[in-house]
Structure formats: structure tokens, C-alpha cells
Chains A and B, each alone.
Chain A
Amino acid sequence: MIEERWTRMDRRLEVVIGYILRIGVITAAVIVLIGGVLYLIENGSTAPHYHTFYAASKHSDNLSGMARNIRALNSYGIIQLGLLVLIATPIVRVLFSVVAFALERDLLYVVATLIVLGILLYSLFVRGT
């Protein structure tokens, strides 16, 4: 019922996905750490403001705000870059799976994975801005 071929291919797929996830998380953590240290050096002695939700943060923390901060290369932007790498890690994983299923000529799962990818991209690029 389940062909041997699928299982073998899946195991190889799993190993590569394992690497993608690991590299993504480590890269993200390192970038967040660098941004965090810079942020604390600059702002460590100010008062935190997280007790109230600022509607204005919608504009500085959404995707276009993130892009502005990252381009400015300020500490806030560096942390945001790390967080974006983290959010992108599962998306890259799904993208890779589309390619892998396509190489296996497994049309059914190519379609299923494309649907998931579409939902993820819609969330980030349509609802994130």
C-alpha cells in the first residue's frame, strides 16, 4: 500500500528539513541577540512601555515598519530582522517541501503544500502590512 520508494524519499526529505529548521533558528537567535544587546546599550536605562498597547505601534511594527527599521539598521530593526528570519523558517521549510514533492512527482502533495504556502504568504504579505 505504501510504496517503499515514498518512504525512502521521505526520510531524505526529513533530513534536509531538519537542517533548514536548525539553520533558521540559530541564525535568527544570533541576529536577535546582537540586536538585543545593542538595544539594551542604547535604551537599558529608559522605562519599559509594554504595559499599555499603543495603536501607533501598528505602523512601526508592521511589515513596512520593519522594513524601514531594518534599512536604517537600528537596534530595533536588527531584532526585527531576526524575528523575520524566525517567521520565515517554517515558510522556507514549506517552500522546500513543494520542490521535494514535485521531484517525487507526487502531484497530490504538491497541491496540498502549495495551498499551505499560499496561506502563509497571504498572512505575511497581505495581512502583515
Chain B
Amino acid sequence: MNVLPFTILVWLGGMAAGLLGSLTGLGGGVVIVPLLTLVFGVDIRYALGASLISVIATSSGAASAYVREGYSNIRIGMFLEIATTIGAIVGASLTTALPPGTIAVIFGGVLILSSYLSSRRPRDNPDCVPDRLTARLRMGGTYPTAEGEKPYHARNVLGGFGLMSVAGLLSGLLGIGSGALKVLAMDWIMCLPFKVSTTTSNFMIGVTAAASAGIYVGNGYIEPALAMPVVLGVLPGSMLGSRILGGASVRLLRLIFTLTILALGIEMIYNGLSGGF
């Protein structure tokens, strides 16, 4: 196959990945890497590079819409980005040192884990009491609800910081956004409202991915001719996905997609172990 048809197919694939990623709430990255490696036979290092770029694009694109609605908390996000960016640097450095097969196996494991995480019920935290540290860091705010602006407070920032480092590490290691893990750190550990957690997470994903991007660039992971159709496909795909999400009930769709991602995870592990990478 020549470059032209290949590029068009990758572009369409990127669009499907963006759609799938935003409908499952997992982001385009977790779909684009298996798609490029398993279906298109792309080297996993180029796939990680293209995925990371698309993660920056979708995060920035989506955050530009969310941020105006007043849900995301810029202070909490910025503070936790210290953890995610350090984690990302470590993860991206690791990925350049590990054999491709190992990365594929870890990728598969994370896919399975995140499809489980995304199927958990959102936890809307009842009034949390801030602890000493979060009070000093002024980690709280208000968010819009049906009954008007509602105040909230964060707690256990150290626990959240710890899990955020892991989220950053996986983001750098696998070229993904690690959104599911970031949300977990905020709504489970730090006791933030679910909507605040998801939008702040989305907001943080772009900065986290940008921290890995330099290392990816330096190691030649970002092949422009491949990243081009991926980015141009994932962007409209994920925007379409968030439109659909806002409308009809999509529980059955979500279930089907979550199962698809589970299957992709198993396939990645199998291929990684059998030397397919």
C-alpha cells in the first residue's frame, strides 16, 4: 500500500479511535496505539509518538470548552501537575530503555485496568472536610449545580499526589492521557466532586503529555507523516464523541466499546509475549 491510501486509512482509523475514546471516557490514546500496531503494523515507538501528540490535541481541544463552564479547578490541577510531569519524565525515559514487547504487555495490562476503572460508578462526594494541608493550599472552590453554586473542599493531597505520579508515569511510558487514573486520584482519594475531577483531569492531560513530548521528540518517536493523519482524525472524532455523549443515553454503546477495549488489551499482551513487536 502506498502512502496516500495508507494515510487516508490511518486518518479514518484515528477518527474512529477519537470517537471510541471519548465515548468510553478513556481518551483516544488507548485506542490509537493498538490500532496502529495491531491493524496497521506500525512500529510501537512511532505509534506511541503519534498517540501522545493526539492526546495533547484532544485534551487542549476539550479543555478549552470545559474550562469556561467553571467545573475545572486550575489551582488543584496545577499543583498536581508537578506530580504528573515528573512522573511523565520518568515514564518517557523508561520507555526509550525498555524493549517494545515489554511495552506492549504493560500497555495491554493498563488497557484492561482502565476499561475496568471507566466502568465504575461516579462517586459524587458529599461534603468533605478539608485537612490542614489542603486548607493551607486553598484547595477548594465552588461548582455549578442545578441548585446553584455549590462549595467543595479537597482532602488528602499527598495521597492524590502519589497516585498522580503513577498516572504521569504511565502517560509517559505508554503515550496515553491516563485520564481514568487521574480522575480516580481526585474523586476517590481527594474527595472532589466527580464533574470537577473529570474536567480538571482533562485539563491536566495536555500538560502531562507535553512533559513527555520533548523526550519523545529527542528519540525520534514522533514521525510527522504518521502523526499528521492521526491528529487530524482523532480531533474531529473525539469532538463528535463528546457531542453524542451530551445527547442520548449511551450505556449500551459504552458497554460494547468497553468490551472492545478489553479485547484489544488481551491482544496487545498476547502479541507482546509472542514476540509480535
**Taking beta carbons and an 8 Å cutoff, which residues of A are in contact with B?**
1-3, 6-7, 10-11, 13-15, 17-19, 21-22, 24-25, 28-29, 32-33, 35-36, 39-40, 43-48, 50-63, 66, 76, 79-80, 83, 86-87, 89-91, 93-94, 97, 108-109, 112-113, 115-116, 119-120, 122-129
Contact = CB atoms under 8 A, between A and B. Distances in A.
A1 to B, nearest CB: 6
A21 B74 contact: no
A18 B67 contact: yes
Contact of B81 (A53, A59, A89, A116): A116
A18 B68 contact: yes
A83 B235 CA distance: 13
Given A2-B151, A13-B74, A48 B227 contact: no
B64 interface: yes
Contacts of B81: 94, 116
Contacts of A59: 220
A60 B211 CA distance: 21
Given A53-B43, A83-B222, A119 B89 contact: yes
Nearest to B36: A50
B64 A86 contact: no
14 contacts: A1-B138, A18-B64, A25-B60, A29-B57, A40-B7, A44-B4, A86-B231, A90-B206, A93-B60, A112-B79, A115-B82, A122-B89, A123-B210, A128-B217
A98 to B, nearest CB: 10
Contacts of A86: 53, 56-57, 60, 231
Which applies to chain B's interface (DSSP): helix, strand, loop or mixed? helix
A50 B78 contact: no
A112 B82 contact: yes
B220 A55 contact: yes
A26 B211 CA distance: 21
Nearest to B226: A50
Contacts of A122: 89, 214
Nearest to A45: B2
B222 A48 contact: no
Contacts of B60: 21-22, 24-25, 86, 89-90, 93
Contacts of A7: 141-142
B86 interface: yes
B223 A57 contact: yes
B110 interface: no
Contacts of A54: 220
B1 interface: yes
Contact of B228 (A10, A25, A35): A35
B40 to A, nearest CB: 8
What are the 7 A-B residue pairs with the smallest beta carbon separation, nearest first?
Answer: A123-B214, A44-B4, A124-B214, A58-B220, A57-B220, A21-B64, A128-B214
A1 B152 CA distance: 11
B91 to A, nearest CB: 11
Given A54-B220, A89-B56, A123 B211 contact: yes
A28 B217 contact: no
A2 B53 contact: no
B162 interface: no
Given A13-B74, A21-B63, A90-B207, A51 B41 contact: yes
Given A29-B232, A123-B212, A97 B56 contact: no
A129 B218 contact: yes
